[in-house]
A and B are shown apart, each in its own frame.
Chain A
Amino acid sequence: MKSDKYYRSKNVAVNVIVYAFLIAVALTCIFPLLWMFSSSLKTQETIFRDMSLIPKEFHFENYILAWKEGGFGRNFLNSIVYTSVVVFGIVVVSSLAAYAFSRFTFPGRNLIFYVFMAAMMIPIPGSFVPLYVLLNKLHLRNTPIGYILCMINVGLSTSIFLLKTFFDKMPKELEDAARIDGCSKLGIWRHVALPLAKPVLAVVVVLNALNVWNEYVLALIIFDSKPLMPLQVALMTFQGEFITRYPLLMAGLTITALPIILVYIFMQKYIVKGVTQGALVG
Chain B
Amino acid sequence: MRIKDTLENYLFVLPAVTIFLIFYLIPFIWVFQLGMYEWDGILPTKIFVGLSNFKEILIQDNIWWLSMRNAGYITLIAIIFQNALAFMLAMACDREIKMKNFFRLVFFIPPVLSEVVVGLVWQWILDGNYGLLNVWLVKIGLPHLAKNWLSDPQTALTTVAIVHCWKGFGWGFLIFLAGLQTIPRELYEAARVDGANAWDSFKNITMPLMVPVAILVAILTVLGTMQAFVLIIAMTGGGPAYHTQVPVLRILASMRGSSRFGYACAQGIIFGLVLIIISFVQYRFSKRSRQY
A contacts B directly in the complex (CB < 8 Å)? yes
What's the Cα separation between A92 and B20 when bound, in Å? 14
Select from chain B the residue with minimum beta-carbon distance to A214. B114
Q: Determine the chain A residues whose CB is within 8 A of the CB of B6 once the complex forms.
A: 106-107
Query: A142 to chain B: closest CB distance in Å?
Result: 16
Contacts of B92 in A (CB 8 A): 18, 21-22
CB distance from A195 to the nearest CB of B (A): 13
CA distance A123 to B16 in the complex (A): 19
A177 contacts partner chain B, Cβ-Cβ < 8 Å: no
Given the known inter-chain contacts A158-B220, A169-B182, please indicate yes or no for A8 contacting B264, CB distance below 8 A: no
Are the C-beta atoms of B212 and A121 separated by less than 8 Å? no
A94-122 vs B, CB cutoff 8 Å, 1 = contact: the mask equals: 10110111001111000010001111111
A116-B20, A265-B105, A271-B174 given as contacts; is B113 within 8 A of A125 (CB)? Answer: no
In the bound complex, CA of A238 to CA of B20 (Å): 35
Q: Is the CB of A100 within 8 A of B13?
A: yes
Chain B, residues 91-127, CB within 8 Å of chain A (1/0): the string is 1111111000111111111111110111001101000
Q: Which residues from A are CB-within-8-Å of B166? A: 28
Contacting pair A32 B118 (CB below 8 A):
yes
Indicate if the CB atoms of B178 and A29 lie closer than 8 Å: no
B10 CB–A CB distance under 8 Å: yes
CB distance from A94 to the nearest CB of B (A): 6
Instruction: Establish whether residues A271 and B177, one from each chain, have CB atoms under 8 Å apart when the complex forms.
Output: yes
**Distance of A206 Cα from B112 Cα, bound (Å):** 10
Query: By DSSP majority rule, is chain B's interface helix, strand, loop, or mixed?
Result: helix
Of all A-B residue pairs in the complex, the 5 with the closest CB atoms, nearest first, are A122-B272, A100-B12, A6-B188, A153-B23, A274-B181
Q: A6-B192, A117-B279, A125-B255 are in contact. Are A33 and B113 (CB under 8 A)?
A: yes
- Interface status of A279 (Cβ within 8 A of chain B): yes
**B251: CB under 8 A from chain A?**
yes
Write the nearest CB–CB distance from B82 to chain A, whole angstroms: 12
Chain A residues in 8 Å Cβ range of B227: 123
- Minimum C-beta distance from B116 to chain A (A): 7
Taking the complex as formed, is B27 at the interface, i.e. its CB lies under 8 A from any CB of chain A? yes
- Given contacts A36-B117, A274-B181, are A125 and B279 in contact (CB under 8 A)? no
Q: How far is the CA of A66 from the CA of B171 in the complex (A)?
A: 30
Contacts of B23 in A (CB 8 A): 131, 134, 149-150, 152-153
The size class of the interface chain B forms with chain A is 35 or more
- Given A35-B121, A200-B178, A268-B105, A152 contacting B19 (CB threshold 8 A): yes
Query: Does any Cβ of A come within 8 Å of B22's Cβ?
Result: yes
Q: Is A77 an interface residue (CB 8 A)?
A: no
Within 8 A of A (CB), among B141-155: none
New contact pairs (19) apart from A26-B103, A131-B23, A169-B182, CB-CB < 8 Å: A6-B188, A15-B97, A18-B97, A25-B85, A33-B109, A97-B16, A121-B223, A123-B248, A123-B268, A123-B271, A124-B24, A125-B264, A134-B22, A134-B23, A153-B19, A189-B12, A203-B175, A257-B112, A275-B184
**In the docked arrangement, what's the CA distance between A22 and B123, Å?**
24
CB 8 Å contact bits of A176-187 with B (1 = contact, 0 = none): 000000000100
Question: Is B275 positioned at the interface, with any CB of A under 8 Å from its CB?
Answer: yes
Assess whether A261 is interfacial by the CB under 8 Å rule. Answer: yes
Chain A residue numbers with a CB within 8 Å of B91 are 7
Interface residues of B, Cβ cutoff 8 Å to A: 6, 8-10, 12-13, 15-17, 19-20, 22-24, 26-28, 30-31, 41, 85, 88-89, 91-97, 101-114, 116-118, 121-122, 124, 166, 171, 174-175, 177-178, 181-182, 184-185, 188-189, 192, 198, 201, 212-213, 216, 219-220, 223, 227, 248, 251-252, 255, 261, 264-265, 267-269, 271-273, 275-276, 279, 283
Is the C-beta of A162 less than 8 angstroms from some C-beta in chain B?
A: yes
- Taking A134-B22, A153-B23, A239-B116 as contacts, is the C-beta distance between A271 and B107 under 8 angstroms? no
Evaluate contact between B27 and A131: CB separation under 8 angstroms: yes
- CB-based contact B268/A119 at 8 Å: no
Q: What's the least CB distance linking B63 to chain A, in Å? A: 16
A-B contacts, 12 of them at CB < 8 A, read: A2-B96, A9-B198, A32-B121, A35-B117, A104-B9, A106-B10, A122-B273, A126-B31, A169-B182, A257-B112, A257-B114, A276-B185
Q: CA A18 – CA B121 in complex, angstroms? A: 27
- Residue A68 CB within 8 A of the other chain: no
B252 touches A160 (CB 8 A): no
Q: In the complex the two chains form, is B261's CB within 8 Å of A126's CB?
A: yes
Contacts of A233 in B (CB 8 A): none
- Select one of B101, B104, B268, B279 contacting A124, CB under 8 A: B268
Docked-complex contact B112 and A264, CB < 8 angstroms: yes
Q: Given the complex of chains A and B, what is the CA–CA distance between A207 and B121 in angstroms?
A: 23
Measured between beta carbons, the chain B residues less than 8 angstroms from A249 are 116
- A199 cross-chain contacts in B, Cβ below 8 A: 178, 181-182
